[in-house]
Structure 1
Amino acid sequence: MEKLGKEFSYKKGKENKVKFMAVQRKSNEGSRIGELYGKITVSDKDYFQGQRKLAKKIEHPFVRLCKRIAAFSPGLGKNGKFNEANQQAVAFLNWKLSPEEFSAASTILLVVSLFAAFLVGTVMMFTPVSQIFISFQITGIGVPIVAYVPFLLIGLGIVSYFQTYPETEAKMEQTRALTYVPEIMGYMIMSIKLVPNLEKAVEFAAGHGRGKIADDFKNLLWESQIGVHNSLSEGLDKLAYKWGQYSDDFKRSMMRIRDSVIESSDARRYSLLDQTMTEMLENIRTKMEQYVRGLQQPTTMLFYIGILLPLMLIIILPVGSSFSGTPLANPIVLFIIYDVLIPATMIVFAFNILQNKPPTYRIPEIPDNQPGLPKKFSAKIGGVNIDVRAAVILLLVFGSVFSFVASVDGLPPRTLYSAIGLDDRFPQLLPADKQKIDVLTAAGREITYFDISEEGVIYPRYLSQETRRFDPDELDEETLTALSEKVKQKVLAEEKIFYSRTQNDIAPYNLVFGILITFSLMIFVYFYYTNIYKRKIQLEVMEMESDFKDSIYIIASRMAENKPVEEALKSVQQFLHGSKVTKIFAKTLDNINMLGMPLSQAVFDTNYGSIAHIPSEIIRSSMKIMVDSVQLGVNVAARTLISLSIQLQNSDKVNKLLNSLISDITGTMTTMTLFIAPLVLGITTSLQRIVIVTMSSVASSSFLTTNQNLDVSNFGGGAFTGVNISSIVSPESIAGVASPTEFIIIVAVYIIELVIIMTFFTTKIQEDNDLLVKINIARFVPIAVVMFVISIIASKLFVGATI
């Protein structure tokens, strides 16, 4: 066998070289493939540098869940099929999920959900838990309906969500593409401007892009290498038409990029690529405007659900409860409606809106071990280092004691007056809450006036009146129990009327307000001081990223003058003197000059690298591009960095465009959350007392006399002599209405939930930043609670004077 003297080398990275001899076969002698591979020699050092590994792709959690559920009974999915929407979604997402697995998982989930609903309903009907139906006056057919139907609906809702999840996930990926497509196209254009090679452009874009489309580019490279596609161009065509049904911009841009590669003139190529990017940015602006216009109706619905609906319910529920006899205004029912159902509806609605938000700016995520952060749960308050958890506990104890003292003794405490020699008649800044004994005494009634016992005043009287209507022989134990319960409800209704009037109000306002403000301050201290230090570092990194775009252009300009990279980095320090981003380049130069590190190590070394502790994906990926391009020469590096600077500016334009378009909406919703909602809901507490007093007054009337001489001969003669209102508005329904104190607590809990939900929504829709969400919640909850307290006090003074 003859050997040719020609030597080939394959270069991987900077140093990984594999040398081999090409072997020529004689026409009459054959060589086995094993002999050819046996000629290849690779050193251990070279082998482990720049190696690539084959790794199994991590499956989506939903796919893993389906496979695990289906494994319990695979036969249930026999002959299963996707519907058209799920078929397209699974194909689009490249999920390794078969119709049989999905069908089996859906069937098992349906069976389990129905069984769980039946089990919970049965437990509620045939165990002591069933007493809850009696307390809510639910009897007859209403018992199984309430026991089973809600849980059946919850189970069916879970199954429906499961079955439509692939379609929902695909739509979310398509929404993300609104941002990811121009970004990845920008990277392709950047690469082709340097070297008009499609494969290099796809590889470069796949390595720096984000989202599903970047994964598809990586898959395209792999499939092209193993022969799935006849050529990379063919694979790009398929990818363009796959994404074209969701993003026509991508398909059109991909075609133009392919055309630019075969252009012989550099000027025409650059013109075509620039035109492609310009049109894409214009299309993004149009779509962003459409997205923002689409937010108007959902945000208006959030306003209706979160603010107007509770205001309407405070009138509807007591009236409906009084006339229907159902416990709609019961404290438990109000808690479920105000603090469970309405917030849950808002959460679902808000998440649906957020799912359609296109991602833009990648917020730097600050790890817990970031240099410069204090010890976890440690904060500096008033120049003293304290544990945040201890501060929250101390605040809880102090606030609770302070609220109790203010409620019982007022501020300053009345008990201190005698100790310092002051007269008890000396005015207090904050009088104590009214007590039952004081109110009853002031009204000229005995302390036991409303007691439900023989020692009470009106209870024995009413019971005696009711029993006189029966013969002694008819008063068995069952009848006496029924009469006693009827009289009890009547006494409770009168007590509710009495204490609902302003002059007899015994609601512990000082205690409730003190606990609310204490709880809001606890939220502030915990969330603010556990996140503010990260936020400060995050803002510094964001400032670095903003200046980094300018620094890239300066570096490119200096390198275009054939200056080495070290000189270019020094120029940044001169032009951007005082900017925090210069610290990165100064550290890079120190590592090169003092530690003798090569450029790559000077930047990326895990211990001493200039960006080792800079948690910014934008800076890290851009520095990677700079380091790689410098190895190809200063001219290539200069052109690369100029293209990168343009790409970063385009991404920044998209981010600023979205923020400017939605700023009006988020500003309005923040105002509603902080001021309008607490003020309106604070007024509802006074309206609730007005409704109670009004309905109680109606219930206490035996008859409403109207038109006694009205001629109704057309109806058979006679006249309307009275309408029995007491049979419509019963004392039992009035007695079951939530007291003012209970209602204030229910609405206060709702206010806190509302602020948290709306703050999460407005922050996320403007800036996808979990750190800022927590800080905004810490800032907004105390403001909203104080506004709620002020609203209650003001409405009590003005509206309460009428009752």
Structure 2
Amino acid sequence: MKWYHILSLYNILLPIFVYYIGKNILSTRPTGYGDTDISDLPDVKKYKNILIHVGKNEIQLSPLYISILIFIFFFLIGFLPIAVKMVPGIDIVNHDITLPLGMQMFEYRMDNKTHEVVGPYGIGATILSLGIPLAFGLALGYYFKLRSKNIIKIREEAKKLEAEFASALFQFGNRIGDGIPAEIAFDRVGRSMQGTVSGSFFLYVSQNIQRLGMSVEDAIFDKKVGAINHFPSALIESSMKVLVESSRKGPQVASNALMNVSTYIKEIHKVDERLQDLMADIISSMKAQIKFMSPVISGIVIGITSMVTTIIGKLSIQLTKFQEQGSSDMGGGMANIPFLFGNGVPTYYFQIVVGLYVVQLIFILTILTNGIENGADKLNERFELGRNLIGGTILYCIVTLIITLIFNIIASQILSSFV
């Protein structure tokens, strides 16, 4: 089996299958309250970029440029062992870089059957190959993180408002039902809830009405100074639209409408909390897979594979030398032993396949976990993708590097006692 056969299975067929099955299962999730993606709102859109302040000017830099630079840097590092082979005039088989303990940097070999150059099998090539998963993992991770980290802070304030908005709306509906005008009710509810995010929202509306002489609708929805601009949320916006429309039919209608919306919000939050309880174990397990289990286990697998490949490769070379020397210790039936070992898949390629699979697995599991936990929340999905891709990829590369070095040192010491 060639390395590209493994790649087609692990990096193409398996991820597509897992993603398809996961999305089908996710579609059966009961509908709860989905958080709003506020990143496309006009006042928030600029925070999708990196903001650099130069004097009074503000420069917006797209995270895509940073991601491309990261990708090119690490990809070139990972591609170096292949690039060395392509340089004309270099005898890469006989002129390699020798590392401590007799290990080779690239370790290209001459295939006994085809007489073609195969490899790289060296530990240096394996370590450099970590640049490929780093290129994909960090480039994607920083792109998603930089696109969402500024906006997620704004959204967190809106989420605090949403968490307590049902009770604030209930109070507001009661006061309107008692015959208090909406303009005054905003001020009274804001003062009664002073110190909370809901209180800040209601007071902001009240100040727009009192200081700027705005109507309730303009105080909330004005494109320049409207309160909704500072608390971007589909839930708040739709609730306030209900207030504005129902107020035109009388205070009692507005009161009943707001009370019904308040009850609806409470019920939706109960559904989400119940879903969180039911799925807590599954979500916890999936997060453990993303953040720790998958990167660590995969890194250990690469380390063991590297050691086994090194041992088999060295033994095959030694047996070939014995055969060429016509050693008396080898009978005629043992002449084909070197061919039984074969060359195997270089750890360089195997690590790239597994490393990319780890990146893909983190990507898919993060999307599924966010879908289970938060529903249709694209902003949080991007933020979590950024965090998990960066953390998981770096952890995988660190574990792979350490385990590979340890196991190859052990393999070199074992082989030195036989050679």
Bin of the TM-score, shorter chain as denominator length: 0.7 to 0.9
Residues 630 and 368 of structure 1, relative CA distance in 2, 3 Å threshold: closer
Letter aligned with residue 759 of structure 1: T
Q: Which residue matches 2:91?
A: none
Letter aligned with residue 301 of structure 2: T
**What SS is found at the alignment partner of 2:51?**
strand
Residues 348 and 725 of structure 1, relative CA distance in 2, 3 Å threshold: farther
Aligned ranges 1:403-802 → 2 under 5 Å: 437-439=96-98, 486=113, 488=115, 505-514=122-131, 516-517=133-134, 519-594=136-211, 596-604=213-221, 609-611=226-228, 614-692=231-309, 731=339, 734-735=342-343, 737-767=344-374, 768-800=376-408, 801-802=410-411
The counterpart of 2:66, out of the listed 377, 391, 411, is 391
Cα deviation, residue 442, structure 1: 8.4
Distance 2:53 2:218 in 1: 40
Return 5+ residue gaps in structure 1 as ranges: 1-327, 406-434, 453-458, 460-485, 703-721
Distance 2:333 2:299 in 1: 35
**1:573–1:586 contact (8 Å) kept in structure 2:** yes
Q: Which residue matches 2:5?
A: 333
**2:132–2:352 contact (8 Å) kept in structure 1:** no
Aligned ranges 1:179-190 → 2 under 5 Å: none
- Normalising by structure 2, we get a TM-score of 0.75
The counterpart of 2:18, out of the listed 338, 346, 364, is 346
Cα deviation, residue 695, structure 1: 6.3
Cα deviation, residue 588, structure 1: 3.5
Distance 2:201 2:310 in 1: 70
Give aligned pairs, total. Answer: 383
Residues 523 and 441 of structure 1, relative CA distance in 2, 3 Å threshold: closer
**What SS is found at the alignment partner of 1:437?**
coil
Letter aligned with residue 303 of structure 2: S
Distance 2:109 2:8 in 1: 29
Cα deviation, residue 653, structure 1: 0.8
Letter aligned with residue 562 of structure 1: G
**1:699–1:725 contact (8 Å) kept in structure 2:** no
Letter aligned with residue 644 of structure 1: V
Cα deviation, residue 613, structure 1: 6.9
Aligned ranges 1:109-124 → 2 under 5 Å: none
**1:701–1:725 contact (8 Å) kept in structure 2:** no
Letter aligned with residue 338 of structure 1: Y
**What SS is found at the alignment partner of 1:379?**
strand
Residues 543 and 723 of structure 1, relative CA distance in 2, 3 Å threshold: farther
Distance 2:308 2:14 in 1: 22
Residues 394 and 694 of structure 1, relative CA distance in 2, 3 Å threshold: closer
Return 5+ residue gaps in structure 2 as ranges: 81-93, 321-330, 415-419
Distance 2:28 2:338 in 1: 50
Residues 680 and 724 of structure 1, relative CA distance in 2, 3 Å threshold: farther
Q: Does 1:356 align with 2:31?
A: no
Letter aligned with residue 757 of structure 1: I
**2:22–2:368 contact (8 Å) kept in structure 1:** yes
Letter aligned with residue 777 of structure 1: L
- Normalising by structure 1, we get a TM-score of 0.42
**What SS is found at the alignment partner of 2:228?**
coil
Residues 685 and 362 of structure 1, relative CA distance in 2, 3 Å threshold: closer
**2:39–2:45 contact (8 Å) kept in structure 1:** no
Cα deviation, residue 640, structure 1: 3.9
Distance 1:785 1:620 in 2: 39
Please list the CA deviations of residues 342-393 of structure 1 after superposition, one character each: whole Å capped at 9, or x if unmatched. Answer: 2122112211211111221131121434325536533359999562344334
Cα deviation, residue 764, structure 1: 1.4
Please list the CA deviations of residues 150-171 of structure 1 after superposition, one character each: whole Å capped at 9, or x if unmatched. Answer: xxxxxxxxxxxxxxxxxxxxxx
Residues 341 and 594 of structure 1, relative CA distance in 2, 3 Å threshold: same
**1:377–1:389 contact (8 Å) kept in structure 2:** no
Q: Does 1:368 align with 2:32?
A: no
Cα deviation, residue 586, structure 1: 3.5
Q: Percent identity among equivalent residues?
A: 24
Cα deviation, residue 563, structure 1: 2.3
The range that moved more, 686-695 or 359-368, is 686-695
**What SS is found at the alignment partner of 2:195?**
coil
Residues 554 and 754 of structure 1, relative CA distance in 2, 3 Å threshold: same
Aligned ranges 1:49-128 → 2 under 5 Å: none
Distance 1:346 1:777 in 2: 17
Residues 646 and 754 of structure 1, relative CA distance in 2, 3 Å threshold: same
Letter aligned with residue 760 of structure 1: I
Cα deviation, residue 692, structure 1: 4.0
Residues 451 and 622 of structure 1, relative CA distance in 2, 3 Å threshold: closer
Distance 2:52 2:278 in 1: 38
Residues 692 and 597 of structure 1, relative CA distance in 2, 3 Å threshold: closer
Distance 2:207 2:102 in 1: 85
Alignment root-mean-square deviation, CA: 4.2
Distance 1:449 1:593 in 2: 79
Letter aligned with residue 370 of structure 2: T
Letter aligned with residue 15 of structure 2: P
**1:365–1:615 contact (8 Å) kept in structure 2:** no
**What SS is found at the alignment partner of 1:363?**
coil
Cα deviation, residue 659, structure 1: 1.8
Distance 1:449 1:783 in 2: 33
Cα deviation, residue 772, structure 1: 1.4
**What SS is found at the alignment partner of 1:366?**
coil
**What SS is found at the alignment partner of 1:508?**
helix
Residues 733 and 631 of structure 1, relative CA distance in 2, 3 Å threshold: same
**2:190–2:201 contact (8 Å) kept in structure 1:** no
**1:700–1:726 contact (8 Å) kept in structure 2:** no
Distance 2:155 2:149 in 1: 10
Residues 726 and 662 of structure 1, relative CA distance in 2, 3 Å threshold: farther
Distance 1:367 1:765 in 2: 21
**What SS is found at the alignment partner of 1:353?**
helix
Residues 341 and 519 of structure 1, relative CA distance in 2, 3 Å threshold: closer
Residues 368 and 789 of structure 1, relative CA distance in 2, 3 Å threshold: same
Cα deviation, residue 762, structure 1: 0.8
Letter aligned with residue 488 of structure 1: H
Distance 1:748 1:760 in 2: 19
**2:36–2:234 contact (8 Å) kept in structure 1:** yes
**1:379–1:530 contact (8 Å) kept in structure 2:** no
Cα deviation, residue 336, structure 1: 0.9
**2:145–2:386 contact (8 Å) kept in structure 1:** yes
Letter aligned with residue 165 of structure 2: F
Please list the CA deviations of residues 284-308 of structure 1 after superposition, one character each: whole Å capped at 9, or x if unmatched. Answer: xxxxxxxxxxxxxxxxxxxxxxxxx
Cα deviation, residue 449, structure 1: 11
Aligned ranges 1:186-265 → 2 under 5 Å: none
**1:683–1:795 contact (8 Å) kept in structure 2:** yes
Letter aligned with residue 355 of structure 1: S
**What SS is found at the alignment partner of 1:488?**
coil
Residues 574 and 724 of structure 1, relative CA distance in 2, 3 Å threshold: farther
Letter aligned with residue 66 of structure 2: A
Cα deviation, residue 725, structure 1: 8.3
